[in-house]
Amino acid sequence: MNVRIEKSWNDVLADEWDKPYFAALADFVHREYRNGPVFPPASKIFAAFDACPFGDVKVVILGQDPYHGPGQANGLCFSVAPDVAVPRSLVNIFKEVHDDTGAPIPANGDLSRWATQGVLLLNATLTVRAHAAGSHQNQGWEQLTDAVIRQLNDKRSGLVFILWGAYAARKGELIDRSRHLVLTSPHPSPLSASRGFFGNHHFTRANSYLESQGKTPIQW
C-alpha cells in the first residue's frame, strides 16, 4: 500500500503497510472521513512523523487519541494550532515545564517547535470522530503505533519515552529500559494532574539523560 508519510518512517514501517490489519484500518478510516467530520484533517494524520524523521527522534511523548473538537487536532499529540485556545491538559503541561525548567509559558499551544528538535509527539490512535473521544480505538492504529515504538526501541538507543497516564504507561512494556529512559506519571488532565503529574520533573530529567548520551537537550 502506498502511504504518504516521511521517507525514513516509510522505510522502517514498510512491512506494516501490507499487513491485513493495516488494510482493514485504511478501509475504516476512509469510510469515516467520507461519513462525517473526523480529526485531524486527513493531510495531517501522519504529521508527527513528517515533523520528526526516524533518525532525528530523541524524545517520544505518547498521547491517547487526537483532540475531538473542531479545529483542535493537528496531528501532534497535545498540540493545537497557534490560533486555537490552549486545552486544559496542555495548560498543565506548560505549567510543569515552567515550574521544572523556568521556561516562560508560551503564548499558544503549537508544539511544532518541540517536534523540530526531535520530540515525536505520537498519539496511540491517530484519528478520531468529531465529539467522540476514543471512537477510533481498537481499529488497528494501536498495532501501528506499537510497531513505531518497537522500531525505535530496537534500532535507536538513548531515547527518552515520556508516558503520562495508565493508557500510555502500558506501551512501556515494549521498551528496553537498559537502552532507553522511560518516564511515567499521572496524566496532565485536570482530573489527574494533581496526583503526581505536577512535580514529575520529566522535562529536566529528559534533558539530563539526553546530555548523558551526548545529545543536545530540548528547549522546552
User: Which residues form the catalytic set?
Assistant: 65
DSSP, residue by residue, the chain: ----S-HHHHHHTHHHHTSHHHHHHHHHHHHHHHHS-EES-GGGTTHHHHHS-GGG--EEEEESS---STTT--SSTT---TTSPPPHHHHHHHHHHHHHH-PPPPSS---HHHHTTTEEEEESS--EETTBTTTTTTSSHHHHHHHHHHHHHHH--S-EEEEEHHHHHHGGGGS-TTTSEEEEE--SSTTTGGGTTTT--HHHHHHHHHHHTT-PPP--
